[in-house]
Amino acid sequence: MKLGSPIKFSALALALAVTLAGCTGPNASKPEPVSTANLTRHVEVYTAGFRNISEKYIRPLQVDDIAVGGLEGLTSIDPSLQAERHDDNVRLLLDGQEIASAEAPAAMDAQGWGTITATFEQKARRRSSLLNSAGDEKIYEAVFDGVLADLDVFSRYAGAAEAKRNRARREGSGGIGIQLKVVSGNPEVIKVRSNSPAARAGIKVGDKITRIDDTDVHRTKLRDLLNHLRGPAHSDVSVRIYRASKDQHFDFTIARQLIVPNTVTIQVDKNIGYIKISSFNQATAEGVAKALRKISQMADNDLKGLIVDLRGNPGGLLKQSVKVADLLLTHGQIVSTRGRHPDSLHHYEAGGRDLAEGLPIVVLVDGKSASASEIVAAALQDRRRAVVVGTSSFGKGTVQTVVRLPNDGEVALTWSRFITPSGYALHGLGVRPTVCTSGLSGGPRAALERFELNKPEIQAAYASWRRSLIDEKESRKALRQACASERRKSTVERRIAELILSKPRLYAQAIELTGRESQAWK
């Protein structure tokens, strides 16, 4: 097998070398044959990971550097291991003794370094009892944690099981549409989603589940229960429930469907609409569109304004945040993304109908509002479509692309930055509220009095905020401290929003302070 690198052995030859190697040293474990198929699978996983990371990460990376980092990651399982790179040679040591050595491939040879990593890892398994008992997924995790250790905190590896849960949160998963809690070891239905398979089958709140398929689920952990209920869309699951009101058991065979968690809740109070967005999944924009129509009906088309609550919202899917902003804008830039890879460069423009029909909008943010929620807040603020109330947001202004690996694990990899319509990079800075509630000890009127007194300072802060460059970390930190990032769970921000929406002059003044500045990002 030709790898296009200086490695002297093919994967098959290296596999045979691993199989024939003796077991010596204090950490030796009982030899187990290493199959060619297993080695090939590991080569594929590492090669795919190394290639994608080096090509897509936001700054240039060499494959040889990250691969050596991956070998060093094995020390998290067995501290006696040590990886070394000397010019054209790479070695793996155990307790100071060499157990594997090879000529280093070219710096950007992902397959060559993938082969070395897989071969060294499996040789180490034969010498290290800790590594031998770790299992494939734990070793993958150790290697990729080593690869990503010197990158940013948002670039991370998820093993196959965690990646499956991540995909379910992003995309939804096959299920029947119920929420459960475990009471004295018994799974009890606490919510049935409307128009779900469970609702159509006749399952009700209060029903206790006793069996799922052929499994007795008494004293089963909640996560395991959910795993039993989830499966491919359109597949069947059998559920037996006990209904206390009838003192009777019932059996159901239910076809699963794609269940996407609801992220949007609404209220109408004093003719002001309130939309809470908890995160951004693939159904969020559709949920907001429905919420806007329903709020208008609930208020009998006599709305004074709209509150969009993004406090505590950690973000989610970029395109959903763009769609949500587009629901409230008729034109202009929403956000752009800039990175090193050509596919990371995007420019998103509004081009639809404002479903709020020009109503005044107040957006609530806090220190836990991140990523996709910051895109919405910044777009509406920069386009002078909304007044932002709260504390400086989290400042998570990078985009992660998700690379699915051959083992069904995934690498979330930072590959671009968000740039707001007024031109500043969100990362490390966040969105600055017009009405700041950081350190607020009084009620909503105290916050508005502080706003009235500090208008010149607020306007100056916006100018500095939008001129701030991505490398100016200390000045950005100082800007954030002027309206410190805090977690806000009280009702005071909502009450401030209601006061602003009830006073058109105050709303207009706040909007005027957010006037766009010239492009500043470099």
CA distance 108 to 114: 11
Residues carrying an active site annotation: 371, 382, 396
Q: Are residues 272 and 370 in the same domain?
A: yes
CB atoms within 10 A of CB 439: 10
Question: Which whole-number Å values give the CA distances from 134 to 77, 114, 138, 140, 240, in the listed order?
Answer: 8, 20, 6, 10, 38
State the pLDDT at residue 345: 94
pTM (predicted TM-score): 0.79
CB atoms within 10 A of CB 343: 11
Question: Which whole-number Å values give the CA distances from 204 to 10, 196, 211, 245, 434, in the listed order?
Answer: 60, 12, 16, 11, 46
User: Which residues in the chain come in under a pLDDT of 70?
Assistant: 1-35, 172, 515-522
Q: Are residues 56 and 147 in the same domain?
A: yes
Give pLDDT tens digits for 165-207: 888 777 767 899 999 999 999 999 999 998 899 999 999 999 9
CA distance 209 to 234: 21
CA distance 102 to 81: 16
State the pLDDT at residue 515: 66
Question: Which whole-number Å values give the CA distances from 448 to 196, 294, 440, 443, 499, in the listed order?
Answer: 45, 30, 11, 9, 9
Q: Are residues 101 and 221 in the same domain?
A: no
- Give me the domain span that covers residue 209: 173-259
DSSP state of 123: H
And the tokens for 153? Answer: 């905190």
Residue ending a domain, among 121, 151, 181, is 151
Q: Is residue 5 part of a domain?
A: no
Q: Are residues 325 and 451 in the same domain?
A: yes
State the pLDDT at residue 169: 72
Q: Are residues 94 and 182 in the same domain?
A: no
Q: Are residues 434 and 454 in the same domain?
A: yes
210 with 218: CB under 8 angstroms? yes
The set of residues, in sequence order, having a beta carbon less than 8 Å from that of 43 and lying 6+ positions away, is 11, 111, 114, 115, 118
State the pLDDT at residue 35: 64
Q: Are residues 366 and 271 in the same domain?
A: yes
State the pLDDT at residue 516: 55
Q: Is residue 400 part of a domain?
A: no
State the pLDDT at residue 61: 96
The SS3 assignment for 452 reads helix
Q: How many separate domains does the chain show?
A: 3
373 with 310: CB under 8 angstroms? yes
Read off the amino acid at residue 397: G
State the pLDDT at residue 338: 94
Q: For the chain, state the CA radius of gyration.
A: 28
CA distance 131 to 307: 54
Q: Is residue 417 part of a domain?
A: no
397 with 423: CB under 8 angstroms? no
Determine the length of the chain: 522
Q: Are residues 450 and 495 in the same domain?
A: yes
CA distance 320 to 434: 25
Q: Is residue 401 part of a domain?
A: no
Backbone angles phi, psi at 338, to 5 degrees: -135, 125
Q: Are residues 84 and 140 in the same domain?
A: yes
Residue ending a domain, among 207, 238, 259, is 259
Q: Are residues 128 and 25 in the same domain?
A: yes
Which residue's structure tokens are 């995007």?
A: 346
Q: Are residues 352 and 472 in the same domain?
A: yes
Read off the amino acid at residue 439: G
What CATH number is given to the structural domain containing 238? 2.30.42.10
Q: Is residue 388 part of a domain?
A: yes
Question: Which whole-number Å values give the CA distances from 93 to 14, 15, 46, 260, 396, in the listed order?
Answer: 17, 18, 20, 48, 39
Q: Is residue 519 part of a domain?
A: no
Q: Are residues 133 and 22 in the same domain?
A: yes
